[in-house]
A and B are shown apart, each in its own frame.
Chain A
Amino acid sequence: MALWNEHHPEVRINLEKVSAVGGAQYAKMHAAVKVGDAPDLAQIEYSVVPSFLLDNSLVDLSAYGGDRYRYRFVGWQWQQSVYGRSVYAIPQDSGPMGLFLRQDLFDAWGIRTPRTWAEYADAARAVREHGAWVETFSATNGNRFAALAWQAGGRWFGTRGDSWTVAIDDAPSLRVADFWSRLVDDELIKTIPDRQNAWYKDIQTSDIVSWLGASWGDALLTGNAPDTAGTWRAASLPQWKRGENAQANWGGSTTAIFTDCTYPRNALAFAVWLNSAPEAVQLLIKGGYGFPSAVSGYTTGDLEGRREFFGGQHYSRIFIEAGKAVDTSWKWGPTVDTLYQRLGDAFLEAIGDGTAFRSVLEEVQGETIEDLRDKGLKVEAGRSSASG
């Protein structure tokens, strides 16, 4: 920010930080859009871009020549913000997923790093025998569940003609639900919320010894469990089929420009600079923003600022490889915030009542179709022709 202002005295940027707890930042932005007081630019996640599109609150960047910057960014991340023939946001970063684990304890207990989900379930059992837990299924963490469904081949949203399609209960997603349902039933994993005080305490005290996280998780672990430095390693996500290489993305964001912006051309220039100029990308990496969407301007060394924490492992390679194998046809729908909330509510209920997670997806599928309809949209159940 200060760097841009130094080099571009004619276009000054002011920054407002907003709290990013539980989607509160989007609440604020939606409200700001409603009253016509939106900022010029904002950092928003890929998954909520469509919800802002519904209110016509994002500038169509293609109209300002935005398309010519596409080759500066990873293809599928660019595609995430393309709806119809227009691009609506400049990608900033992504969150290729991986498995963070306490290698010291896995080694001491003679547990191999799981390569498949079946091995993962075995590892969960083995870890439990030593009094620890392999993971927590956080009911309110809808975005991680979505990522795992994405890995399995689920495609929750799509378009067919001028209708949205919704398939939250598609076969791959049900498979993921059944898997976690089983682990919870067998009491092999915890059900506390992750990335909250109780969870931080658990990773500090080795009560929880691994975490299905994403590339940005290195900063999180280092910051919250500094005393466990050197004992963690990163590994690739377990696979559904041995030898396959299906990966997932959790999080990641874009820089979008709101339609209230008086100087969209300058704002676009800034958004592109922020996310692709080498000096800006370096700053984003230092700030722990995750994996840059820019294709150049940094080295793997830049991405590994926390190597000692991972015992000298070149951990970024795991995530770089993961990033290459993310299925790129996944699309987000216009009610993702509501969807996460519905998933959270239904998972909470299922965990409380001991019912199978399968029913959660079936319930949320119906609710989501209703939600889109209530927004005044055309919607169909089932897979879109584009991905099917």
Chain B
Amino acid sequence: MKRPTRTEARNARAAFGFLLPFLAVFLLCFIAPIGYAIYQSLLKVERPAPLGIGGPTNEVWAGLSNYGHALEDERFIHGFGRVLLFGVVQVPVMLVFATALALLLDAASARWVGFFRTAFFLPYGIPGVIASILLCFLYVPGISPLVEIADSAGWQVDFLGRDAVLWSIANIVTWQFTGYNMLVLIAQLKAIPGDLYEAARIDGASAWQIVRHVKLPLIKPALVLTTVFSIIGTLQLFAEPMVLRPLGTSIDSGYTPNLHAYNEAFTSNNQHIAAAEAVLLALVACVLSFGFLKLVGRGPRDGRDGK
């Protein structure tokens, strides 16, 4: 092994100096809370006093029992099933919309591009809670004009019904995030060099063929990115069911895993179990995101090899 020269050592120190601000914030805001959550998830409370009143409350080592508790909780597990179903339907629909809008605004013949881009993006600027409150006025029977119109046409609709409410939530999320994903895709489209289009046109490609064979393959990284963001966002679904919950009779306290963990922590005051649920949720998000990355990272290459 070669000893580092003085210059190299100085460079390393300098590099570390530049990294320090990032590392400090990263440790403080990212690693520390995760570490604390994992630590909390391994504890439980004991209350040895009669009736648990007046005596000490001891936090003791619980091993993995909080995880066992969470995994045995049917409502928590059902919540996962629900958000997965949600993701399988909503994420593709939203990304198809986002891609279509991005391609339309990127088309050579598009007019008023700036205006439409802002208009489509605007819902993203509205917090999820506010968006849910806005849209619930279209959902709640007795207030919603849509329900009233359907009613007068003899058609009974209940947007907050047991089977419908998940898709009512999907509608809110789609409305909110399509514009954001569109913007990410547009950014990538703008980065495609113009001579590629020129070359395609010289080769006689139609506008549709350019989309199919030039644009779409080149925005694949952005599509992968937005899909991963959307998967994580879906698993973290919280504000929308939280807001819609009191309005109907379809959303229970564990409708999504996040809502379940929230209620465990703040309704039932069981922070340790909630911490375990949060860690489990993070694990699932990790597995799904990396699983998806692996899937798309390998998929096309395998395809080419097969040809």
Contact = CB atoms under 8 A, between A and B. Distances in A.
A335 B52 contact: no
Contacts of B141: 192, 198
Give chain A's interface residue range (CB within 8 Å of chain B). Answer: 35 or more
Given A345-B253, A376-B45, A371 B246 contact: no
Give chain B's interface residue range (CB within 8 Å of chain A). Answer: 35 or more
Interface in A194-223: 196-198, 201-202, 205
A335 B267 CA distance: 9
Interface in B142-182: 142-143, 162
B247 A198 contact: yes
A334 B52 contact: yes
Contacts of B248: 192-193
B82 interface: no
A55 interface: yes
Given A345-B254, A376-B44, A55 B75 contact: no
A349 to B, nearest CB: 7
Given A371-B268, A376-B52, A55 B249 contact: no
A193 B249 contact: yes
Interface string B223-246: 000000000000000000000011
A196 B246 contact: yes
Nearest to B147: A198
Interface stretch (B118-126, B195-203, B269-277): B269-277
A374 B45 CA distance: 8
Contacts of A205: 142
A329 interface: no
A93 interface: no
Contacts of B45: 375-376
B252 interface: yes
Contacts of B270: 374-375
A352 B266 CA distance: 26
A348 B47 contact: no
B252 A84 contact: no
A145 B271 CA distance: 28
A283 interface: no
B44 A202 contact: no
Contacts of B188: none
Interface in A324-372: 334-335, 337-338, 341-342, 344-345, 348-349, 351-352, 371
B145 to A, nearest CB: 13
A86 B54 CA distance: 10
B253 A341 contact: yes
Interface in A81-130: 83-84, 86
Interface string B33-76: 00000000000111110111110110000000000010000010
B140 interface: yes
- Looking at chain B's contact residues, the main secondary structure is loop
Contact of A201 (B142, B253, B266): B142
B143 A201 contact: yes
A11 B143 CA distance: 48
Given A51-B269, A192-B249, A83 B51 contact: yes
Given A56-B54, A197-B140, A197-B247, A374 B69 contact: yes
Given A345-B75, A377-B47, A351 B249 contact: yes
B52 A377 contact: yes
Given A30-B269, A376-B52, A55 B247 contact: no
Given A23-B267, A55-B57, A201-B143, A377 B51 contact: yes
A34 B269 CA distance: 10
Contact of B269 (A55, A140, A352): A55
B47 A376 contact: yes
A159 interface: yes
A377 to B, nearest CB: 5
Contact of B268 (A55, A164, A341): A341
Interface string A45-60: 0000011011110001
A253 to B, nearest CB: 18
B142 A341 contact: no
A376 B60 CA distance: 11
12 contacts: A23-B267, A31-B266, A50-B53, A53-B53, A84-B51, A193-B248, A193-B249, A341-B253, A345-B75, A351-B249, A375-B270, A377-B52
Given A202-B142, A376-B46, 15 more contacts: A27-B267, A30-B266, A30-B269, A53-B53, A83-B53, A139-B249, A140-B246, A164-B51, A193-B247, A197-B143, A201-B143, A345-B252, A345-B254, A348-B251, A376-B48
3 shortest interchain CB distances as A-B pairs: A162-B50, A27-B266, A201-B142
Interface of B: 44-48, 50-54, 56-57, 69, 75, 140-143, 162, 245-254, 263, 266-271, 273
